[in-house]
Amino acid sequence: MSALLAIVSRDADYYLMLSYILKGAGYRTVLVDIPNEAVATAEARGAAAIIVDCQPGSQILADIASGLEEKGLAGDLTLIALVAEKAAYLDILKANVDESFTRPLPPERLLSYLHGEIGNSSDEASGRLVPIFDDLRLDVSGRRVLVRGMPVNLSPIEFRLLSALMGDAGRVHSREELIAVAWPKSAFVEPRTVDVHIGRLRRALRRALGRDVIRTVPKEGYAIDIAQSM
């Protein structure tokens, strides 16, 4: 079983990008968008590390570090801070984190640390968890979708939907899961709205690729069709 990483962030876009990178390296991820639930979620799910998206003026990191100490988990869970440039570095030091990185950071730096600190995933997970899409790629830094090097015009919601599907390729994602990652938490979204946006995404990809890559599973949801995308 590959290592699970709990990512604490209120930015769904940032979580999807980071999750895509981490899953490509063989890790599993879970989003914690309510910071005071981070320690409980990590403990319940057996996470190997907590990665905190630290914004200026936020007390999230200190609260999580304190929660780990109170539960006696500080030595069992690796605490990593991804620090915005204007965040107070003294606060990061006081939180006694295991490692901190200033954003933006090269993904290989984070992956190198994770591999050295908590190890890699199992051979099985690293071999097939996330397939390589030869002609369909996400440009993480530019938040673009590229087909054979050419950009595909997608709305922000369609981009987030595709990121979620590709980040756990082959698995069927329910409409409720897709709503959670693609729309703001305060928005009321009906399942039919997901179908509409998936339909637009499917047509855009079909025009660019010349084939369908999104599979509909009746009464369940949607998945990227690995067999056709490889």
The architecture (CATH level 2) of 131-229 comes to Orthogonal Bundle (1.10)
DSSP codes, 148-201: TTEEE---HHHHHHHHHHHHTTTSPEEHHHHHHHHS-TT----HHHHHHHHHHH
Domain residue ranges in the chain: 4-126, 131-229
Of the candidates 98, 104, 135, the residue with the CA atom closest to the CA atom of residue 21: 104
pLDDT tens for 97-154 read 888 888 777 788 888 888 888 875 444 333 333 334 557 877 765 677 888 878 888 8
pLDDT tens for 58-93 read 678 888 888 888 888 877 889 998 887 665 555 666
pLDDT tens for 152-203 read 888 889 988 988 888 777 788 999 989 988 888 777 889 899 999 999 999 9
Distances in Å between the Cα of 109 and the Cα atoms of 79, 88, 99, 147 are: 16, 21, 11, 27
Please answer whether residues 225 and 212 qualify as being in contact, where contact means their C-beta atoms are separated by less than 8 angstroms: yes
Give the single-character DSSP code of 97. -
Of the candidates 20, 5, 228, 205, the residue with the CA atom closest to the CA atom of residue 130: 20
pTM over 0.75: no
In total, the chain counts a number of residues equal to 230
CATH topology of domain 4-126: Rossmann fold (3.40.50)
176: tokens are 């409720």
How far from chain centre, in Å, is Cα 22? 7
203: tokens are 């047509």
**Which string of b and e fits 187-208 if b means at least 16 CB within 10 Å?**
eebeeebbeebbeebbebbeeb
